[in-house]
Structure 1
């Protein structure tokens, strides 16, 4: 096969983006499973017809194809040595809605939450809701027969699909449904399927378990009626039978009112034993389980602590949610169950909530499982493989006891157990040793033993995540040889050349083939500039932290990942970038990413990383791409000429200090058309950007004659003169001094030229960043030794002291003291103000742009509390990064993405806000982006807002 000819024909004949480069192949080499297969190339069709044409071109070249949506498959069905057709970027439309029939037609790439947002105006939604609902696609849900917690009420995806428009590999195309008898191109296929049904009918009835969560194998039971349900058969086939081009799906009404009951139990098996009584008495929307080990992991990792706080006494819990037309009806269902269980809402092992926000907070603890269990504290890394078995709910307790014994027999530490217990489905990530030969052998042996165990209980290998490669080999144990033969005949009827996602379900790869790690895993262990203390000092370990959950691929909400939200490119997601770093380091002989630190594929993927640090807090497994980017840039440009912006913007503290000798002259020169354009061109600055004005007098110079306290004096604080406040916005520093002194604090401002090293770190000049930080620590040492609070005004600089200093100087005691003594402006007023002090009354409404580093590192609770005490009606926008992001938005080539980030939520919200509403933005970048996008708006720092209320 000539990939050059294939690529040429795809480029010529397909309206889409054709990617055969190393970056794309590396980014798509894995899904969310243990498996890795480098694709031939990637096609992103701009419309459904282009996707169909891409399949045709692949057929002409006789190459395998794999349709992919969100890439969140946990069993390996989303990775293959094939041409990957990614439907998620362009083919994501809601085509039509029929509210009367409660159906809609969608393209395969539409994400579930995006669909449900569009359906909300009709009071409808798609019922099944996996934990990845923010970014999983309907096409992927169809391929996997997805369920989620809501399946307790709405069933599996197969129960909610009316018709599918499918395309077979050999080019036949038709709409198929539950009772289609159409005279179309699939007539001979239907005849073959009827023959298979007739020959295997009794075996199907005998071997298919009658449980709510049987996802494994093909849905041959959908062929048993008088009419063939081809749509039901294709659902759950993991792209091995046909390509889904469009889907007509059934919708359900949005439930107006819900109530949640949390019940505590002494252990997870006791919780499982209680399930039959709960589902037998009532018809809950969800019955979810969390065990004590999962909560322990959350506490140790400092994640979802608000969710944990909602749980009642116990060591394991069931979350039972009811839904009805009114709150009274939902509450009646809940109270009825409590009475049947002999319990009361006042019991210590019971918690009740009718508030939707609090219920979502409770459920977050359950949805967190996949990420929290990936890198558990005090345990080896945990992996998929046996993560979603299902049994009859009334046998769940006994199954769990036997499963726990099986863990012990194989020497595995007890993992966290959770899942959809109302349907008998158990989620686990196991501490398999996948980096050693004996560990891989035991992994395989355990899977076979576990398959025999779940089959003995009349259960299913998979209750939600499908077979893929992880369980395809085990299907014979569950179904027997006859049914496996029927699967092979169905596959041959649809895809006789075995080109649709080969090696999955039918004629599968072994469970221990194509492992992302494996016994031959030999990643490089390069010396690094940064410490990576959370990963044992290993950049390789940090780069392998991502397990592919894909939360970074959501289109709305949160801070992670702004460039993906704008471009919808896998390589611009946190996951895609992490995958490329993994490929760069892990040493597989077929790795598409070559040249190590000099890799242009990795450089290009990281180029649009805004270093916003949103992933540090929002990524379920704690990937910190801003830090990884800094490390990569340090090596990539070591002993080489850097981009011009690394000098003009990376050395901004020095430039600002030099400009302070003649700020007005510098400002005039930077605004003279010819000089300005020349300076931008030489400095690598985007021509569309206007440089900020240098202040006539720096903040430090304004404070030079102020009487300052000495280290250790009562009420003393040090106000950090960051570069941005010092040289561009000294009025903010003055306002902060006034408010701090009003709060009874004595303010010292260091007179020496100081810097945190932020701009050098963000451009990967880490040697210089360390030198700058060490000098700062020497100047601050008397204050640090005295225990004096250090107060910051600029969130990006504050985050260096609170977080990045640990990476730069992991063993420096002064850096540790600084981390412990550093407080934000709001924290200083909340925690160190004189007793009885109240913030000045402002009494107005404010729209707030929370800085991404505040969100990720510092927290914004103190700021909101302070504003509310000042009488401010606070609206904190869910807008993510403003898009300027320090040097990013000023660099040539980034302007369009930078502005698109701001136009996603921030700027439209400010245009709609009343002119009298204050705009609060503590970050210099945020304020600059707002001023560039909306010159009529003047954003203010929190210090200015509070100062405006002082007499």
Structure 2
């Protein structure tokens, strides 16, 4: 380990060109940012977040001068330990998310920080996609996809990064940059790095001359194989530039940094169908797989009985999963086509192939979108599902092997026998059957005596079986990492292994790029630096730190993600459990983490629960944060009680404050008002809220006095304006919409022929969410009980539905109020009930839509967009804006969260006339950072409709 002075010197040197906030060395964030999805833990000494190539080259130069190792990190979804380090971690952030569509979608140029699913979203209008399709594509980034040569369910070996890379820009260990798409760059590189290219060409010639080695390489890459370096580049190419380009794929950051990659894209066939086929035993299942190898299928995913059992009790799963006999297995067969005839022909071909193979029930395809999505949800949720049922304190290990397809059935049986003999009877098996690629997942503890030795014995035998006896690959698609580095020589043999070390020496003679990954002389590397997963909180203990939650979290680029909040909570729990055995260093570390976690983990969490929608086991990290707020806010309970008991007065005070702010705005002007607010907030130590130019006028609750009842011919609906819409009215600068949400809603309901019923004491009512989010659970429950009573009375015990004009409040009420109450969310109500009652003339406008977190959680994304498209000719849904980060009042009290969450929104909606959502507070933040007015979706519907 280097001395601390070396790290301080490095940080000081980098600070000359990289801002201090992107040079991170505090205990909390180095632990949080240094954790990936693997079962290894190393804590970096310094985390650097360069924003461009120049900053990255400068970082490499300063590290090289001090001989400090560096590791590159994208999303950190890596499973084999290739993205952790105890040295310098270079983390990709917002500066690495650019893209360029080429050749009308036939190619795409991507920076490493682009999420894989985002790349496909960009290509969707062209009917194309990138070739790799890992199960983590919604969270992993292109940098990791390329660096690991990740494949997935459909891409096989024909469409992975190695096969579909067109060009790369790469920065090598010495800081040099090569752009293979630029002839001048290539020429300059040939002149400056002729020795490197000559070395690669020499290795290629020697390899091709060695017939036995060349054939071994070709055999290995008929399978999925990410063990070691891409030696197939030495037999596939003779030119040094092409060899270099393809060696970079799958090199896991040990040979250089890919700053952009250009993919040749593949056709994304629009019509899809899937069948879940059940077979009586694994042998029959494997024979069916071999038969399907020659069929026109897009994917065939194998799942054993244990795998199916791990998900059978999750909501929405087919009942048949619970009735399958022991030893049964399933194949998820996916078929795609460009038109109906092609799809039908392919489905018939598959059924004909399986006709003579015994199945537990007839094999039938579904084209229903929900059923199709459910089948893939079963498959993609298998790995984390094991994490959800494991014993607390254990980790989850996934082994990723490939057998020659013709020996799949015997390989599976032999591998299963090994797992059982070593006591791993809880292991589940699934994988990409067409490629002979199988994943074994099992819980593993390392704390008890003998467990490390048991795991080592298992790995030794698995490596011998797969890599030697069957000539398979020990890592088919998850990358070598630290997990398999000690076994690379066993699989490849001494000759090929020596060749890999030669390649490493040519690129990185100082061994500073991600050392100990892929190649290692340490035979026990895979048993060292194992990650602890202690019990911390029942709400999050099932988390396996996969990182699937991170892309939708609004604080990702500000402080911590849900995964990282859990990482720190676990470390605090570990330190606390030391008790009297804790050292002074432990106690100091615990205090530092606790103090930093208040802002990093608690204050900047939006707590909207959006993370739960991405978590395969539904963990809502916001729930944990609300509990922590509850524990910290005990002394504020009396104030919460006073506000709750005098809620009507509190909302009057809030409206008065808006009136005062509006008057000051008129007198001082927007610029001076904003400067004064910012200054006052700074002087108060950020205790005062931040005034926003988008802060609207106050709403007039008197508009509700115009509501009359008694028309028996009309359908009745109980209308509950949320406290936010009773406080916040129209925007000051909105030239089109001057009405409050209450006025718009009443006009729309009248136009659609509804009679409105208002609850009593409407100014006093609140769903309780405002208190719940701050940890004031008792007052939240009290307000919920009040509201429940009044809504039951107004609806005649649920006879009439209840409409709330704010989506987050609707979700809160659905979770906590009487089941007799039919709570109508504004988007769903407008789509299902108002559209059929109104005559719609779409507005000739381009509008933006923001789908709130609560709408996403209620599964209303598609309805939201369909409603908007019914009312406007062009609808924009800004990419990557999953949560606005306003989170009730955090847009005022933690405005930096709102700003970071909405970075890039203004560019996305620049050509839009207005934006629409279904939460008034969210609309304030969206207006502020989007540069256009955001209004209630009811406003758009009202403007586009008339009574029939």
* Alignment TM class, shorter chain as reference: 0.7 to 0.9
Q: Find 2:33's aligned residue among 28, 32, 53.
A: 28
Residue 151 (structure 1) aligns with: 155
Q: Pairwise mapping of residues 54-203 of structure 1 onto structure 2 (< 5 A)?
A: 54-94=59-99, 97=102, 107-116=111-120, 125-152=129-156, 154-161=158-165, 166-170=170-174, 184-186=194-196, 189-190=199-200, 193=203, 197=207, 202=212
Q: 2:487 matched to 1:469?
A: no
TM-score (norm 2): 0.77
Q: Using a 3 Å threshold, how does the CA distance of structure 1 residues 406 and 935 change in structure 2: closer, same or farther?
A: closer
In the aligned structure 1, how far is the partner of 2:641 from the partner of 2:693? 13
Task: Output one character per residue of 1:255-309: Cα deviation in whole Å (capped at 9) or x when no partner.
Answer: 55555452512257233321221113x3544333345655555553326889999
Matched residue of 2:194: which SS? coil
Q: Give the whole-Å Cα distance in 2 for the aligned partners of 1:746 and 1:669.
A: 33
Give the structure 2 partner of residue 712 of structure 1.
none
Change (3 A) 1:607 1:584: same
* Distance in 2 (alpha carbons) for counterparts of 1:874 and 1:251: 30
Pair 1:498–1:766, CA change in 2 (3 A): farther
Task: State the shift of 1:395 in Å.
Answer: 1.9
Q: 1:321 maps to what in 2? A: 335
By how many angstroms is 1:233 displaced? Answer: 3.3
Q: 1:934 to 1:190 in 2, by over 3 A?
A: closer
Measured against aligned partners, the alpha-carbon deviations of 1:15-73 in whole angstroms (never above 9, x if no partner) come to 89322233431222221111111112122222223212211110111111111222211
Taking the TM superposition and a 5 Å limit, the aligned residue runs for 1:256-267 are 259-262=272-275, 264-267=277-280
C-alpha contact (below 8 Å) 1:23/1:602 kept by paired residues: no
2:772 to 742, 761, 767: 761
Distance in 2 between the 1:471 and 1:277 partners?
Answer: 31
Structure 2 CA distance for aligned equivalents of residues 93 and 746 of structure 1: 51
The aligned residue for residue 465 of structure 2 is 453
Measure how far apart 1:441 and its partner are: 4.0
Tell me: CA distance 1:882–1:647, structure 2 relative to 1, closer, same or farther (3 Å): farther
How far apart are the structure 2 equivalents of 1:449 and 1:784?
Answer: 67
Distance change in 2, residues 1:698/1:437 (3 Å): farther
Q: Residue 150 of structure 2: SS of its match in structure 1?
A: coil
Residue 332 of structure 1 aligns to a residue whose secondary structure is helix
Determine whether 1:824 maps to 2:823. yes
Distance 1:669 1:249 in 2: 51
User: Residue 855 of structure 2 aligns with which residue?
Assistant: 855
Q: Distance in 2 between matches of 1:106 and 1:948?
A: 42
> What is the SS of the residue equivalent to 1:405?
helix
**1:515 is matched with which residue?**
530
**Contact 2:694/2:925 (CA < 8 Å) preserved in 1?**
no
**Matches of residues 637-652 of structure 1 in structure 2 within 5 Å?**
none
Paired with 1:828 and 1:118, the residues of 2 have a C-alpha distance of 26
CA contact (8 A) 1:382 1:430 kept: no
Alignment-derived partner of residue 659 in structure 2: 667
The aligned residue for residue 414 of structure 2 is 402
User: Of 620, 636, 645, which residue of structure 2 is paired with 1:624?
Assistant: 620
1:356 and 1:662 map into 2 onto residues whose CA distance is 46
Q: Deviations over 1:783-842 (max 9, x none)?
A: 999788884613323333444xxxxxxxxxxx6xx36445322599999x9xx9996335
| Contact persistence 1:735–1:943 (CA under 8 A) | no
- Which of 611, 615, 621 is the matching residue for 1:615? 611
CA spacing shift, 1:220–1:352, aligned 2, 3 Å: same
- Gap change, CA 1:649 and 1:138, over 3 Å in 2: farther
Task: Give the CA deviation at 1:697.
Answer: 4.0
Measured after TM superposition, the shift of residue 150 of structure 1 is: 3.2
Q: 1:337 to 1:485 in 2, by over 3 A?
A: same
Indicate the residue corresponding to 1:374 in structure 2. 387
C-alpha distance in 2, partners of 1:512/1:731?
Answer: 62
Aligned partners of 1:373 and 1:429 also within 8 Å: yes
Distance 1:140-1:669 versus aligned 2 partners, 3 A rule:
closer
List aligned pairs for 1:229-378, cutoff 5 A.
229-240=243-254, 242-246=255-259, 249=262, 251-255=264-268, 259-262=272-275, 264-267=277-280, 269=282, 270-280=284-294, 282=295, 284-290=297-303, 294=307, 297-298=310-311, 300-302=313-315, 316-323=330-337, 328-342=341-355, 349-352=362-365, 363-376=376-389
**Pairwise CA RMSD:** 5.4
The answer (yes or no) to whether the contact 2:151–2:477 under 8 Å persists in 1 is: yes
Counterpart for residue 226 of structure 2: 215
The answer as to whether partners of 1:32 and 1:72 remain within 8 angstroms in 2 is yes
Which aligned pairs between 1:490-569 and structure 2 lie closer than 5 A?
490-507=503-520, 508=522, 510-517=525-532, 522=534, 538=537, 542=540, 545-553=543-551, 560-564=552-556, 567=557
1:95-129: CA deviation from partner (whole Å, max 9, x where unpaired): 795789x7666544444444455567877654222
Partner SS, residue 511 of structure 2: coil
Distance 1:608 1:30 in 2: 20
| Alpha-carbon distance, 1:876 to partner | 9.8
Label 1:927 to 1:20 Cα distance change in 2 as closer, same or farther (>3 A).
closer
Structure 2 CA distance for partners of 1:264 and 1:122, relative to 1, 3 Å: closer
| Structure 2: gaps of 5 or more residues | 579-584, 682-686, 729-739
Partner Cα separation in structure 1 for residue 634 and residue 247 of structure 2: 56
Aligned residues of 1:843 and 1:872 also touching (Cα < 8 A): no
Q: Given the two structures, how large is their TM-score scaled by the length of structure 1?
A: 0.77
- For the Cα contact (< 8 Å) 2:838–2:947, is it kept in 1? yes
Aligned position for 1:5: 9
Residues 732 and 943, structure 1, Cα contact 8 Å, conserved in 2: no
Q: Aligned with 1:236: secondary structure?
A: coil
* Cross-structure match for 1:809: none
Structure 1 residues 477 and 921, CA gap change in structure 2 (3 angstroms): same
Give the secondary structure class of the aligned counterpart of 1:45. Answer: coil
- Residues in 1 aligned to 2:697 and 2:759: alpha-carbon distance in whole angstroms: 26
Distance 1:861 1:725 in 2: 22
Say whether residues 1:423 and 2:435 are aligned partners: yes
Q: For residues 784 and 376 of structure 2, what CA distance do their matches in structure 1 show?
A: 42
Shift of 1:657: 1.9
Instruction: Write the deviation string for residues 430-469 of structure 1: whole angstroms up to 9, x where unpaired.
Output: 1223554444443333333332332333221111001212
CA contact (8 A) 2:36 2:77 kept: yes
Q: CA deviation at 1:9?
A: 0.9
SS in 1 for 2:47: strand
In 2 relative to 1, CA 929–303 (structure 1 residues): closer, same or farther, beyond 3 Å? farther
Residue 15 of structure 2: SS of its match in structure 1? helix
